[in-house]
Structure 1
Amino acid sequence: MSKDILRQGALLPLVEDFYTIQGEGFHTGKPAYFIRLGGCDVGCGWCDAKFTWNPRKFPPVAVEEIVRRAVACQAKAIVITGGEPTLYPLGKLTEELKKEDFEIFIETSGTNPLTGTIDWVCLSPKPQQPPLQEVLLRADELKIIVESQSDLEWAEENSKKVSDRCLLFLQPEWSVFREITPAIVEYAKQNPRWNVSVQTHKFMKIP
């Protein structure tokens, strides 16, 4: 496999793919097929998918095979996630998925330009590596993970950079869910343009 092929997006480091229910953000409760790619250029200490960070652990898989597996399930919504999926050109993958009439969502920290055809951009920026302005403007949903009170300041900073149509969500970091949720609830009540997102899939014990 040449690096050129990988760069062109014909092959992608697939960590896992599975059919489940979207557990967080605006599309909570929606059946969706998840495509998780390896590699991350942000590296959050609380990340619950650290196993994805090293893409060399995941041999590249042909886009045609990824799409074939997606088509085999009943879902008509695709979530491309990671790791950080924008590390790779997604034009070929999204083109093939669109041929099968999928609606395509992406979850990204916004550190790299978006490529391909994306119907919904969920932007979850991190302060250690801030998002690109072009991704902030493309975001349909701004989802800030809140581990401490200082993350609320980060949330407000980013909310000033997204478009007026972008929906705003605060989501408690799972390991401090009980401790931080009351502060998030009170903040949203005082600032009702913010919504609260909860990782419902963890309560349901599904992927």
Structure 2
Amino acid sequence: MFYTLQGEGAQAGRAAVFCRFAGCNLWTGREEDRATAVCKFCDTDFVGTDGVGGGKFKDAAALALAIANAFEGDSTWNRPYVVFTGGEPTLQLDTALIEAVHAQGFEIAIETNGTLPVPAGVDWICVSPKFGSELVQTTGHELKVVVPQLGQDLDALGQLDFEHYFVQAMDDAEPARKAKNMQVAIQTCLHKPQWRLSVQTHKVIGMP
């Protein structure tokens, strides 16, 4: 759990507490399993609970209080904002936690791979589908597709019921591949203007 600026999509630049759940249904998070995972390009460490601000909480109220304590901003003008991410947050996010966090005055966002339904009560739903998995959550506020993914059909995804449609270049440790992926994302937006470019600005400015 950490306080930062949202780096991606329609909410980019917004102060937020990120609550990252351990565990995912598309990859174990361990490098030895990456080659056989459904999602092979994940750039996030979601294994374990011993990271900065990490831990286990006895109940929803305890986690909601920890989230409230992690928010460092002045909430006079806007509701404080929390992003549940992972891993895959729908494996753990439930009604009790949503209600407890709302009771702390927070607006709740989720970043999900869309393979499980998002519980009722979440204020902002961002779905990032992974090719090779079944997309169950087909409505929301923001659809964010990492490109390139072999076999993805942006025309079909563009028919889903979302308010915002983003493509984001797949990150890569190899600069040439990273640049090529960015060009794929840019050309996608130029040729399919329904889609807008999402840039991982938190990596550009050096924030978590």
Please indicate, yes or no, whether the TM-score normalized by the shorter chain is above 0.5: yes
SS state at 1:168 partner: strand
Q: What is the rounded CA distance, in whole Å, between the counterparts of 2:154 and 2:129 in structure 1?
A: 9
Query: Is the CA contact 1:169–1:197 (under 8 Å) kept in the aligned structure 2?
Result: yes
Q: What is the rounded CA distance, in whole Å, between the counterparts of 2:56 and 2:119 in structure 1?
A: 18
Q: Which residue is equivalent to 2:146?
A: 145
Query: Is the CA contact 1:33–1:70 (under 8 Å) kept in the aligned structure 2?
Result: yes
Q: Does residue 170 in structure 1 map to residue 171 in structure 2? A: no
Q: Which residue is equivalent to 1:158?
A: 157
Q: How many residues align?
A: 183
Per the TM alignment, residue 54 of structure 1 is displaced from its structure 2 partner at its CA by 6.5
SS state at 2:146 partner: strand
Q: Residues 110 and 54 (structure 1 numbering): CA distance in 2 closer, same or farther, change over 3 Å?
A: farther
| Equivalent residue in structure 1 for 2:128, among 96, 120, 124 | 124
Q: What is the rounded CA distance, in whole Å, between the counterparts of 1:35 and 1:89 in structure 2?
A: 11
**Deviations for 1:51-96, whole angstroms, at most 9, x for unmatched residues?**
42568x9864232222112212235001000000111242111101
Query: Is the CA contact 1:37–1:85 (under 8 Å) kept in the aligned structure 2?
Result: yes
AA matched with 1:61: F
Q: What is the rounded CA distance, in whole Å, between the counterparts of 2:207 and 2:66 in structure 1?
A: 19
Query: Is the CA contact 2:169–2:184 (under 8 Å) kept in the aligned structure 1?
Result: no
Q: Output the TM-score relative to the length of structure 1.
A: 0.80
| Equivalent residue in structure 1 for 2:108, among 81, 104, 111 | 104
Q: What is the rounded CA distance, in whole Å, between the counterparts of 1:189 and 1:89 in structure 2?
A: 37
Q: What is the rounded CA distance, in whole Å, between the counterparts of 2:48 and 2:110 in structure 1?
A: 20
AA matched with 1:192: P
Q: What is the rounded CA distance, in whole Å, between the counterparts of 2:204 and 2:19 in structure 1?
A: 21
Provide structure 2 residue ranges, at least 5 long, that are not aligned to the other structure.
28-38, 74-79
Query: Is the CA contact 2:18–2:82 (under 8 Å) kept in the aligned structure 1?
Result: yes
Deviates most, 36-45 or 77-86: 36-45
Q: What is the rounded CA distance, in whole Å, between the counterparts of 1:155 and 1:53 in structure 2?
A: 31
Q: Which residue is equivalent to 1:136?
A: 138
Q: Does residue 52 in structure 1 map to residue 56 in structure 2? A: no
Query: Is the CA contact 1:122–1:140 (under 8 Å) kept in the aligned structure 2?
Result: yes
Q: Which residue is equivalent to 1:8?
A: none
- Structure 1: which 4+ aligned runs deviate by more than 3 Å? 57-60
Per the TM alignment, residue 112 of structure 1 is displaced from its structure 2 partner at its CA by 1.0
Superposed CA RMSD in Å reads: 2.2
Q: Output the TM-score relative to the length of structure 2.
A: 0.80
Q: Which residue is equivalent to 1:19?
A: 3
**Deviations for 1:148-199, whole angstroms, at most 9, x for unmatched residues?**
5x46x43333222x11x52100000111431121222122112111100011
Q: Residues 89 and 157 (structure 1 numbering): CA distance in 2 closer, same or farther, change over 3 Å?
A: same
Q: Which residue is equivalent to 1:202?
A: 203
